[in-house]
């Protein structure tokens, strides 16, 4: 693996910003987009359960409808790719079995060798107290994927705008998500910044390190 230097890392972090105006004429190449979709899939999640789906919205009419329920933020229609992040609304024993089966398929291990792992997941997420707040748990996993996606995009020189300024219930209606066992949590626009976006050059507003990082 090729390592970034610390200064390259910080350069990338400072280059990334929540893009307000995308250049609607610039499109992400299919090779880069394929890698970004793969980075969504490669996102880590608790137990590896991947309680999410990523809906890439290409249809311009659908994007217009989504913009109307996204505080009219133009990023929805001007970006190259628009991804809606969905979280599972429940975790059941069958979801745990699905992961166990996939692990057997990929790692070629006997299914029985995963019994302890399976029982642990079921005891925690299906039968344990966490089940009462399972959508909060899945949301946390989905936001990890969002963060991973934004950083991956920045490493490729692709701009993003994470978006919670949306009406998730209306998204679910427009995208026919109701009844699927998933629900919209947030979205992310990806593409290339417009030269007119003055936010690109604003200094970052962050608290100083001594306010945020402590050591013991
Ligand atoms: C989960 C999440 C939701 C956000 N929703 C929006 C949004 O709807 N519209 C927008 O323009 N920016 C949105 N932002 C961008 C933040 O305002 C921005 O990340 C923050 O002010 C820091 O600025 P920077 O990302 O440019 O460094 C969102 C950020 C996050 C992490």
Residues 6+ apart with CB under 8 A from 33: 80, 81
Residues 6+ apart with CB under 8 A from 18: 160, 161, 162, 199
Buried b (16+ CB within 10 A) or exposed e, 132-146: eebbebbbebbbebb
pLDDT at 92: 98
Within 6 Å (CB) of ligand 1, which residues are found? 17-18, 20, 73, 161-165, 186, 204
pLDDT digits (tens, 9 = 90+) for 28-44: 999 999 999 999 999 99
Q: Whose CA is nearest to atom 24 of ligand 1?
A: 17
Tell me the average pLDDT of the chain: 98
Share of the chain above pLDDT 90, in %: 100
Cα 30 to ligand 1 centroid, rounded to whole Å: 26
Q: Whose CA is nearest to atom 16 of ligand 1?
A: 18
pTM of the model as a whole = 0.98
Give residue limits of the domains in the chain. Answer: 22-201
pLDDT at 149: 98
Cα 173 to ligand 1 centroid, rounded to whole Å: 24
The hierarchical CATH code for the domain 22-201 is 3.40.109.10
Kindly report the backbone phi and psi dihedral angles of residue 8, in degrees, each rounded to the nearest multiple of 5, phi listed first.
-65, -40
pLDDT at 163: 98
Cα 160 to ligand 1 centroid, rounded to whole Å: 10
Q: Whose CA is nearest to atom 31 of ligand 1?
A: 162
Cα 18 to ligand 1 centroid, rounded to whole Å: 5
pLDDT at 126: 98
Q: Is 157 left (phi over 0), alpha (psi -120 to 50) or beta?
A: left
Residue 35 burial (CB count, 10 A): 17
Question: What is the mean pLDDT of the segment spanning 139-147?
Answer: 98
Question: What is the mean pLDDT of the segment spanning 178-201?
Answer: 98
Residue matched to tokens 């893009």: 19
Q: Whose CA is nearest to atom 9 of ligand 1?
A: 163
Among 19, 162, 185, say which to mutate for ligand 1: greatest number of ligand atoms within 8 Å of CB: 162
Q: What would the two tokens of residue 96 be?
A: 């745990």
Cα 25 to ligand 1 centroid, rounded to whole Å: 23
pLDDT at 43: 98
CA 177, CA 195: separation in Å to the nearest integer? 36
pLDDT digits (tens, 9 = 90+) for 41-87: 999 999 999 999 999 999 999 999 999 999 999 999 999 999 999 99
């Amino acid at each position: 693996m090729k390592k970034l230097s610390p200064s390259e890392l910080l350069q990338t972090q400072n280059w990334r910003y929540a893009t307000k105006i995308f250049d609607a004429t610039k499109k992400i190449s299919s090779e880069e987009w394929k890698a970004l979709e793969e980075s969504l899939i490669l996102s880590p999640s608790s137990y590896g359960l991947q309680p999410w789906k990523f809906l890439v919205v290409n249809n311009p009419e659908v994007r217009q409808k989504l913009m109307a329920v996204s505080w009219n933020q133009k990023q929805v229609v001007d970006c190259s790719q628009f991804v809606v992040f969905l979280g599972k609304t429940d975790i059941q024993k069958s979801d745990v079995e699905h992961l166990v089966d996939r692990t057997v398929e990929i790692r070629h291990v006997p299914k029985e060798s995963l019994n302890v792992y399976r029982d642990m997941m079921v005891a925690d997420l299906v039968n344990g107290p966490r089940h009462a707040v399972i959508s909060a748990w899945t949301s946390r996993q989905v936001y990890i994927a969002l963060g991973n996606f934004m950083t991956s995009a920045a490493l490729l020189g692709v701009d993003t705008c994470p978006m919670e300024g949306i009406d998730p219930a209306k998204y679910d209606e427009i995208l026919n998500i109701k009844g699927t066992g998933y629900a919209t949590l947030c979205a992310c626009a990806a593409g290339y910044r417009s030269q007119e976006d003055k936010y690109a050059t604003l200094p970052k507003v962050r608290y100083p390190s001594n306010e945020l990082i402590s050591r013991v």
